[in-house]
Amino acid sequence: MKKRIAAAILLLLILGATLVLCRSRYDYAFQDRDAIMAPASAQHWTGTDELGRDRTVRVAAALLIGLTGAAAAAAITTMIAAFFGLLAAFSPRWVAAILMFLSDVFLSLPWLFLLMMARSLLPLTASPLETAVSTFLILAALGWPACARAIYRGASVLRSSEWMIQGHACGLKTRQLIRLHILPHLRPLLLPQFLICLPAFIVAEANLGALGLGVGEPVPSWGAMLLELDNSALLARSHWVYLPIALLAAVLLILESFTTEAETNA
C-alpha cells in the first residue's frame, strides 16, 4: 500500500515535470533579461533565477534529468556488479580473491571523495551535456563494489545448491546455468541493489553539484539548484528558491520508501 502511494506520487511528479517542459513557452536555458530574479508571476509561476531563467522549467528538467541519469547509472552499476559478482563466484578462488580485493580498494576511499576525484579529472572544456553524461557514468563506474560483494555472496550460495549440481550433471554449461537459473534467482538481490543505488546517486550528484563538480551549466541539476541558495539577494526576494530542495527531499523520501520495502522483501 505504502509502495503504491509512493509510486503514484513519483509518477505524478514525473508527469507534472514532463507536462511543464512540454507546455512551457520557455526553454530551461532561456534567459528573460527583463525578469532577472523575478518573484512568482503569471509568466514565471515560481519566479526566475539570477539570469532570468524560469525556475519551474529548470526544476522540472532537473527532476527528469536527475531521475533518468540516476536510474541509468543504477542500472549500469547493477549490471557491472552482477558481472563481477558472478565472475568471482564462478571462477577459481584466486580470481575471486583478486576481484574482491579490487572491490576493497574501491571501498577503501570514501565514496564522495572518490567521485570528486574522478569527476574533477575530466577535461575543463567538456560541454554541459558531456559533463552530465560523464557525471552519471562516473557514478555508475564507481558504485559497483558494495553491490558486487552482495551478489558474490548470493551467487556463491546458489553455486553450491543441489539443483546447480543437477544442472551440471545434465550437461548444462555454466553460462547457460547462469542465464537460465542463477540470474532469475538473484533477482530479489539485484532489484534492492538497483533501488539502493537510485537515491544514493541522486544525493551524490547533488553533493557533487554543490561543490561545483556536477552537471555543467546551463543544464539544470539538483546540485546547480542547491548553489542558488548561496545567493542572499535571491533568497530575500522569493521563497520559491527553496522549491528545488523541498522537491529533492520529497523525491528522495519516496525512493527511500522503495528501498526499505525492497530490502525487507529481500
Partner 1 sequence: MHIRGGVVTLPMIIAKRAGRTLLLLLFAAGGTILLVRFAPGFFSDSREMDAKYAQAAQAEIQAENSQQQSVIQIAIREVKSWLSGDFGQSRQYHVPVAQLIGARVRISAVLLAQGIFRGWLLAICAALPISALRKGAVLWRLPFTILLAVPTAAMATACILADRGGPVLVLSLIIAAREFNFLRSLLEGAWRSPHLLQGRAQGMSPRALVTLHILPNVAPQLCALATLSIVTALGALVPIEVIFTVPGVGQLAWSAVMNRDLPVLVAVSLLMACVVGFAGMLSTRTVNLEAA
At closest approach, how far in Å is the CB of 204 from partner 1?
8
Helices H, strands E: what count in the chain?
Answer: 12, 0
Name the residue nearer to partner 1 (CB basis): 69 or 167: 69
At closest approach, how far in Å is the CB of 115 from partner 1?
9
Name the residue nearer to partner 1 (CB basis): 35 or 37: 37
Residues near partner 1, by CB under 8 A? 101, 104-105, 107-113, 116-118, 120-125, 199, 203, 206-207, 209-213, 222-223, 226, 229-230, 235, 245, 248-249, 252-253, 256
The residues near 132 (Cβ < 8 Å, ≥ 6 apart) are 65, 69, 215, 216, 219, 221
At closest approach, how far in Å is the CB of 228 from partner 1?
10
Name the residue nearer to partner 1 (CB basis): 98 or 157: 98
Residue 229: closest CA among 241, 246, 217, 243: 241
- Which residue shows C-alpha cell 580473491? 97
At closest approach, how far in Å is the CB of 122 from partner 1?
5
Task: Compute CA distances 234 → 8, 52, 138, 247, 249, whole Å.
Answer: 33, 11, 32, 18, 21
Name the residue nearer to partner 1 (CB basis): 178 or 213: 213
As a whole number of angstroms, the distance between CA 55 and CA 241 comes to 8
